[in-house]
Every structure is written in structure tokens, then in C-alpha cells.
Amino acid sequence: MPEDSTADENAAASGTGPSLTQQEYALRRYEARIGLWKVIWGTAAVGILSVLVPGAIEFWKTTLEVRKLAAQQELERTQFEYETRRAFIDTALNQDIELRLRFATYFSKTLGNGMNSPWSAYEKALRDLRDEKRKQIHELERDFRSLAGKEEDSASDQAELAELERKLEWAYKEIGYVERGRSVVKSRNETQQSVPTEPLNNAVLLEMCASPQEDMSLRWLCTGAKVLGLHEGRDNSRLREFLSSDGRTLGDPENLPWEGDFVETVVALNDPEADIPQNPYLSRNWLQFGEPTKSPRPGDILVFWRGSVNGTAGHVGFYAGEDETNYHVLGGNQSNAVDISRVAKDRLLGARTSRKPLQPAVPQE
């Protein structure tokens, strides 16, 4: 065998021949291509990320802001629904049946689904309750007129009359009669509205009453002013002492309507011989006292209707001034106390005054 052939065979056996060099060259070319693609894809990835990452951050930031705004709007909507429902419940449970009935009628027509809807059932229940209360008022009015028509009133009759008047007042308030010129929601004629009074306020009263009073009406006003602020609950014992200081009283002012008792006490203290109405605890009975006047002066007695002008309930107090639409009244049982309140002029039944000669003045404290 020749030498060259033997050398080639040995080289092939040892892996150092020409075929191994070609494989290595192919491998290195493959590695070069891989490296090039790594550079290309790496550069592309960096470029893509440099564009996408800020965009993604901005996207998520915008998404979070939208979600936050949506959550805030949902919270506001929930709060609005809560306040609205609370207002609806307050109206639906209002003492005034007429107001509740209008409320129920509106929703039974706008939200109800026929006669079987809850609003329709609520409306029917209110109408039944209103009819029942009207019947009760008619019966109480009949009993009141029958008892008030007696020529002589015993102590038990007076107590029963006071109880009937109190029940009528409750019934009128619950039935919610709406007078002309009055809103369904709030009456401009409310009697027991304590407000700052001009011009006859406490300071003016004190100054006026510091000197001797020129007439009986002014004496009444000054006597009443001495107990301004006494409350039927907080000052119960002092108020009861005053109301009984003339030798008679209706009873506990915390349980009875005592505006008539207050006027009777003030008048009797200044004139024990005064021709006081037979039952002075009923406000409208003061229309029988003294003489009528169309131009009341400070201290004259004002008698008002309450609930219904043709009913029996009323209010009585002393004239302490006026403005364009209201009389300023010093009286008892006004916001449960002795105070000066405004009462609408169109509720006046009459003003009464005294023309009797003056008796010795009541000592001022």
C-alpha cells in the first residue's frame, strides 16, 4: 500500500482531515447568523418596549383615573339616592295626612302598576284614615258644642271641654287642612312660630313697664311680660305657681292647653272683679270679654281661630305689636312657653279691650 494513502486514512481516523474543517466552518457561519439575529431581535425588542412601556403606563394611569371617577360618581349617586329616600320617607310618614295623600297619589300615578301596586294600596289606606279622622272631628265638634252650650259649667265640664279641645287640635293637625294662601308643605299661618319681635321686644317692654301704666290693657301686657320665657316643662313649678296665683287654674300646663289660663290669670290679677268669661280656658270664649275694638292697642286681647275658622279650637293672647302680615302676640302656650310670637292677621276672630276705670296697679317686680 502506498504511503500517501495510508496517511490520508490515518488523518480521517484522527478527525484532522479536510471534512472536519468544512464542518467547523459551517458551524461558525451558523453561530454568526444566530448572533446577527440576536442583535436584530434585541434591538427591535428594545425599540418596541421603549414605545410600549410608556404607553402601557399611561393607559393604566388613565384606566385608574376613569375607575376612580366612576367610583366617585357611584358614591355620589348612592348618597343622592339615600338623601332622596330619606326625604321620601319623611314625607310618607309626615303627620299631615293630606300631604301624605298627595305624595302617595303622585307616586301611584307615576310609579304604580295598576290598583295592585304598593303606592296604590298606600294611597287607599291614607284615604280611609282621612275619612276616619274627619268622622272623628265631626263627633268631637258635636260633643264640644253640646258641652259648651250649657248655661253652667262644673269643674268636670271644664276639664272635659279642655280635653275635647286638645283632641280636636291633634285631629286638625293630623288631618292637615290646608287654608287658602297656604302651601301644602308649610303653612304661612302657623301660630306657634317664635321669632324676634320688632318693635315691641323685651327691652322695649321693660322700659315701657318701668313707669306707671296708663290703662288696663297696658297693665295686662306688663303683667304678662314679667313671666316671659317661663317654659311648661323646664319651669313647670314656677309657671304653675303663676297660673294659680289668682286663686284658680286649669291644671298642669304640660298636659293641658293653657293659653286661656294665662290670659285669665293676667286679667284677674289686675282686676279681681273683672267680668271674666264663664269658661276662660277656651280661647274663643274671650270674644265675650270686654268691648270689641278694630284698632288694638298694646295689651288688648286678640282671639284667633285654629284648625278651621268655623271650628271651636283657637288661641288667645295680648297684642304686642304688628307688621304687614302678622300680629305680635304675648301669650302662653306659644312654643310651650310664655313668649312673643307672630300670628297671621287673617286668623284674627276679634280684638277685645277694657274701658273700666283703673284699679290700683299691680306692684312691679
- 65 against 88, higher pLDDT: 65
Cα angle, residue 192 at apex, residues 277 and 341 outer, rounded to 5°: 80
Give pLDDT, residue 260.
Answer: 94
Higher pLDDT, 3 or 253: 253
Element (H, E) at 333: strand 326-334
The cell for 141 is 265638634
What confidence category does residue 198 fall into, taking pLDDT thresholds of 50, 70 and 90?
Answer: very low
Closest CA to 317 of 203, 219, 253, 224: 224
The dihedrals phi and psi of 312, each to the nearest 5 degrees, come to -115, -20
150 versus 67: the higher-pLDDT residue is 67
What pLDDT was estimated at residue 262?
Answer: 96
CATH number of 193-353: 3.90.1720
Instruction: Please indicate whether residue 196 or residue 96 has the higher confidence score (pLDDT).
Output: 96
Residue 159 confidence (pLDDT): 74
Number of Cα atoms under 13 Å in the Cβ half of residue 92 = 16
pLDDT score, position 138: 81
> Contact 200/340 with Cβ under 8 angstroms?
yes
More confident residue, 142 or 292: 292
pTM value is 0.49
Q: Which three cell numbers stand for residue 111?
A: 310609579
Residue 182: per-residue pLDDT:
29
For residues 192 and 281, which has the higher predicted lDDT (pLDDT)?
Answer: 281
Higher pLDDT pick, 16 / 228:
228
pLDDT number for residue 27? 80
Please tell me the predicted confidence (pLDDT) of residue 6: 52
Spell out the residues 6+ positions from residue 283 whose beta carbon is closer than 8 angstroms to its own: 257, 259, 260, 303, 304, 306, 313, 314, 315, 316
pLDDT in tens, 107-140: 777 765 655 677 788 888 888 888 888 888 888 8
